[in-house]
Structure 1
Amino acid sequence: MKRLWPDSIAGWTVATIIVGLLASQLLSFAVHFRERGTVIAALQSFHVGERIADAVRVLKQTPPTQRPHAAERFNGSTMWIDWEPQFPIVGEGRDWRADMLRAAVIRNLSEGDWRGLRVALIQPQQPPAREERAGRPSTDSSLAGGSLAAIERKMETGPLYGVAVQIQDGTWLNFVVPFVGAVSYWSKDLIVALGLSVVVVAILSLLAVRYITAPLSALARAAAQFGVSIDAAEPPLRGSREIRSTIAAFNEMRQRIKRYVEDRMQMMAAISHDLRTPITRLRLRAEFVEDEEQQRKMLADLDEMESMISAVLSFARAEIVVETRRPLDLAALLREICADMRQHGHAVTLAEHGPILFVGRPSALRRCFVNLITNAVKYGGGARVGVTSREREICVSIEDDGPGIPESEQEKVFRPFYRIESSRSRDTGGTGLGLTVARTVARGHGGDIVLENRAEGGLSVRVMLPTGRADAEASPPEVPARAVG
């Protein structure tokens, strides 16, 4: 059921407009048909009133013996006449049509034409009641019983009304007047017209709403790009005043975040650089320590500190360097990296794969994969590299036969300088920034890195990157972005 509900501003707006249109149209049709019924009844009453007046004037001058035959000439689709010498039809009720018909008859009759008038709604399934005088019961006539129902079936109309006019000689002329029945709202033409109006309004509304919400879509894309690259392009200021204000606020926030990150990176680089001077002084002083064992430990600690500072400087400088995205063959890049590792004597294998086109930053991606493969070689004795390409994702897997990483620690190892155990200590080399840099690169391309222990032992690292199409949507290839390698 939820699938039928719109989930976008455009969908909700168009749905609201269509529902409002249908409601207004149906209300208008209801009012129109109600007024139409009133107008038709008024016109019919006016026409029937004239015919009744004409019939009364003619029949009152006709000899009583010829009146039944003369009355037949006035019978038709709009009126049926019966001449009753003594008893008029007594109606079963009155309504607005009866009042309208009574007024029309009175308006067309002169005072000398009639002595009494009765107008009422009658039912075809029962014989019309007749007034009893001096205890005499009513008698059947041509309008009694099934004859009235036959008239209604013949005329194929709505309600029947009885009009009894007493002329000057005391006899009664009984008229049966059929009114036009209820008109159905849902004709074929009406449904077609309503459907066409809904389609036209829906199309125009959709075009208008898409134009109005286009700046919001651009803002959403810019926000997604900003989450991938801090140097993504700003969304243009366009649209309504409220939308322009929102975009301006986003751009201002974006600039503040960018300045904040740049300031922190520059501060980190400056601090790391300034620490080199006191480290150099400590190194010189350590040379004068007479205890060789203490001197060795002090120099080792200073080497470790300098290595960490160098890593931080390298990381900070890489963040400040701007590298432009460009198309590259990811499979060829992995082959080149694995070949270099094998030339240095490392046990690295690569499952062959055809060309995989990807839009990214070559230097940053190289550093990402080098760091991951180096970790696999260092802690697992070797690395098996594979790559698979799906519809919207590229997955690069790096497996080793090392001790693996406990699940509780797998997220923590991406923190800068984080160590989990002695087997992965700085004694084996490195500063603890390798996985941090690798994940930063992957997320900078709209992807991520996932760690998983293999059932047969060892660690499996999966680098998931969006395909070239998805990546291009997240951040255009020509937009400069900060590299991390």
Structure 2
Amino acid sequence: MRWRLRGSIGLLGRLFAILLATVTLEFAVGTLIYERASQLSLQDDEARRLAEHLVIARKLLSENPSRERPALSFQLTTDRYDVHWSPAAPPPPPLSPGLERMRRQIIDWEPSLEKASLWLRLTPGRHSEINGGLRLPDGSWLYFGMHHSGGKWAFTIGRMGLALIPMLALLIAGWLLIRRTLAPLRDLTHATHRIGRGVEVMVPEAGTSDVRNLITAFNAMQARIHRLIDERTETLAAVGHDLRTPLARMQLRVESVADPDLREAMSDDLDEMGEMLESLLAYFGGDREPESPVRSDVAVSIATVVDAFQDHGHDVTYDGPDHLEMTVRALSLRRAVRNLIENALHYGHRARVSLERKDGEILIRIDDDGPGIPRDRLEEVLRPFARLDEARQRNTRGLGLGLAIVQKAVAAEGGTFLLANRPEGGLRAEICLAAPRSTGRG
């Protein structure tokens, strides 16, 4: 699961995560350092205030008789400081390093407290308190307590909130800058997808030097690939043209053969050679320029192909709507349907063609009553030049490109092509295309 999640995060997300981690770490460290400095400043300020309060309380209590000191202590008590008077002497408490430092700060502010045996003690609780005492000139003791209020934390939270504003602004600016930096890579990704569909896209060189070098290499590779494809297409077109001419001459000469059996056999051989040539040119694209999608009536096209087979006496039927318009490569789709019907008739005795719209998809099915294909070899027959003569009849014509041509045509439409053995016997070939939003007449 961890590897899958890691693979699902894009480059933009990773860079933003790095930026977020860096800014967060800087914010945390900066806040910690600032808080440490603030604590030192706050501790020094508290020591000064406490020293002033103790000097005033010590002077007032020392100058008044013992009977008035409890009431006077009550009057000296504030929300911040508690003051009590007692004639008893407290036990000397151990001082922590932090309190010893604060004691020295108090004495530095009021050196007169040095001779008063000032002591401090930390009382833990929800709000930590610092308690202590000092000796009056007559030997009695003044006890005091200092409360830590929550204002410090409220002040800290508010300060952190203010510090978050530039942090968020920095994150947003960093996100936009990273997104702009990675824009050439996104263009390169989109171009790669389009090239996979046979479209030549020259990506503008932009971005950092590494990205520009990558785009330059990509454009050069793309140019070489398309040049090789063009050379192959031109070669196949030339070969196809050159081979059609002698085949046509041989067909004319066959007509002059007196022996009818020999003439028929030679004519069949020439027809098979012509079919092989057509399948090669159709698969490798050497017969014409790439076909562009156009608005076509798929139902009429399929019905026309079925009628042509019926005119030649074949048992082929069509079940589907009279009209179904969508944007497709009409010639390629018609050839694919024709190949599937020829396969159905060659390996069986009849072909059942159906067309329907179901759940947002257009389904074209061709069923036959032949022997079917072994389950473990259903994918193998889709490969170019695949021959399964042991599963079908031995007199297979062509080069084994029929189903490969169908798969290529369906892939160009963005659809899927499936083969499956029917439970009642025979093979089902199914073409699945995305249904258009509007199918026109139906």
TM-score bucket (shorter structure): 0.7 to 0.9
C-alpha contact (below 8 Å) 1:91/1:122 kept by paired residues: no
1:7 matched residue in structure 2? 9
Give the superposition deviation at 1:162.
0.5
The separation in 2 between residues aligned to 1:11 and 1:114, in whole angstroms, is 62
Report 1:148-159 matches (<5 A): 157-159=127-129
Conserved 8 A contact 2:293-2:328: yes
| Cα contact 1:59–1:70 (8 A) shared by 2 | yes
CA contact (8 A) 1:269 1:312 kept: no
Quick check: 1:417–1:431 contact (8 Å CA) kept in 2?
yes
Distance 2:268 2:310 in 1: 30
Hey, what's the Cα distance between the residues in 2 that align with 1:453 and 1:370? 20
Contact 1:402 1:459 in 2 (8 A): yes
Give yes or no for the alignment of 1:47 onto 2:49.
yes
The alignment status of 1:455 with 2:419, answered yes or no, reads no
Q: Pick closer, same or farther for the CA change 1:278–1:343 going to 2, 3 Å.
A: closer
Give the unaligned 5+ runs of structure 2: 438-442
Q: Report the Cα offset of residue 216 of structure 1.
A: 3.4
* C-alpha distance after superposition, 1:235-280 (max 9, x if no partner): 4444444334333333322222222233334334445555678889
Aligned to 1:162: 132
**TM-score calculated relative to the size of structure 2:** 0.76
Greater mean alpha carbon deviation, residues 49-58 or residues 237-246: 237-246
TM value normalised by structure 1:
0.70
Query: In 2, distance between residues paired with 1:227 and 1:254?
Result: 10
2:78 alignment partner, one of 76, 84, 106: 76
Please tell me the residue identity of whatever aligns with 2:118: R
Aligned residues between the structures:
433
Distance 1:197 1:122, change over 3 A: closer
- 1:324 is paired with a residue whose SS is coil
Gaps of at least 5 residues in structure 1 are 125-151, 470-485
- 1:100 deviates by 1.7
Counterparts of residues 290-309 of structure 1 (less than 5 Å) = 304-305=272-273, 308-309=276-277
CA distance in 1, matches of 2:261, 2:323: 55
Cα distance, 1:442 vs structure 2: 1.7
69-78 vs 307-316, which moves further = 307-316
One-letter amino acid of the counterpart of residue 226, structure 1: I
Contact 1:376 1:398 in 2 (8 A): yes
Partner residue in 2 for 1:121: 121
Q: 1:355 to 1:280 in 2, by over 3 A?
A: closer
Would you say the 8 A contact 1:46–1:101 is kept in 2? no
For the residue of structure 2 that corresponds to 1:115, the secondary structure is: helix
- Aligned mates of 2:165, 2:114 — CA distance in 1: 55
Contact 1:33–1:185, Cα closer than 8 Å, also in 2 = no
Instruction: Check the 8 A contact 2:122/2:128 in 1, yes or no.
Output: no
Residue 323 of structure 1, aligned match among 285, 291, 308: 291
Q: Per the alignment, do residues 23 and 314 of structure 1 end up closer, same or farther by CA in structure 2, a change over 3 Å counting?
A: closer
State the SS of the aligned residue for 1:350. Answer: strand
Partner residue of 2:440?
none
Give a deviation string over 1:74-107, Cα, whole Å, max 9, x none.
2323333344557355224334244224422342
Match 2:231 to one of 239, 242, 263: 263
Cα distance between partner residues in 2 of 1:305 and 1:464: 31
Q: Does 1:254 align with 2:222?
A: yes
Give the C-alpha shift of residue 461 in structure 1: 0.7
Specify which structure has the bigger relative contact order, considering alpha-carbon pairs within 8 angstroms and separated by 6 or more residues: 1
Preserved CA contact (<8 Å) 1:335 1:350: yes
One of 161, 171, 175 as aligned partner of 2:139? 171
Letter in 1 for 2:55: A
RMSD over equivalenced CA pairs, Å: 4.6
| Structure 2 residue identity aligned to 1:42 | D
Alignment of 1:186-201 (within 5 A): none
Name which of 355, 362, 384 aligns with 2:330: 362
| Contact 2:200-2:226 at 8 Å conserved across structures | no
Please tell me the residue identity of whatever aligns with 1:163: G
Separation (CA, whole Å) in 1 of partners of 2:278 and 2:82: 113
